[in-house]
Structure 1
Amino acid sequence: MTFDKTFNLTDVHVTSAVYKNVALLNSRTMEHPGFFGAFFLHGNSDFRVFAQFFHHSVLEFADSPNPVFGSDEEKAMRNAMAFAFPDAGILTCNRHLRATVLNILQIRSVYHMAPK
């Protein structure tokens, strides 16, 4: 299951959950289709707010022996996931990592900064 927070949506943020439904299989692609899960509306994006959200989700994953969660690089969200699900695997979205690396490389090339 992955979680992603929207930005610039007025003063309210929406964090959405997306998961692959392993009970279904697309006969053409042979992949499990993606579905939206919970939506979380919030004004702040700090550890406490995300911890409350994930605390309410703990019971939903009680029967999952090895849950794996993914997100972007939202530090407060990732720390709250690790707090609520200490035994879960937590992954970072490849698209977000790639964008961050490309952004850093672009900034360094613009300012002719040498890597450390």
Structure 2
Amino acid sequence: MKSKIIIFLVIFTGLLFLSSCEKEEGCNAVITVKLLRDTTQVVPYANIRIWQINSDINILGQADAKGRFEHFFKNEAILNVTASSTLYLPIDTLSSDTLDNDSLYGETTIRLKKGSTVTKSVFID
């Protein structure tokens, strides 16, 4: 009888500890790169940098075919975001003062909140 009580207490204590584990909440940043002259057009494969001055945060990456880049952070922060691309566009979609092989650049900031996904657009021109 004592062994059944001990087994029950061990199982109950184990379940109590496992159920009280707190999941680590982080911050998810989703960056979308778009053209400034046509804000509905995304820029595929743009280079992304998420960084902070006087910090070791320096994330480099590339957007996907839909102009989207995603990264997970453990802590809340306010970060700088820069995007650049050498985008080839057909001549007929460009204004007369733009070359067909321009180097495009844009920057913004993003405020990460614990436990949530923050979406931000960077407009490059």
Same fold (TM over 0.5): no
Question: Greater share of helix residues, 1 or 2?
Answer: 1
Question: Greater share of strand residues, 1 or 2?
Answer: 2
Normalising by structure 1, we get a TM-score of 0.28
Normalising by structure 2, we get a TM-score of 0.27
Q: Which has the higher contact order (CA 8 A, sep 6+)?
A: 2
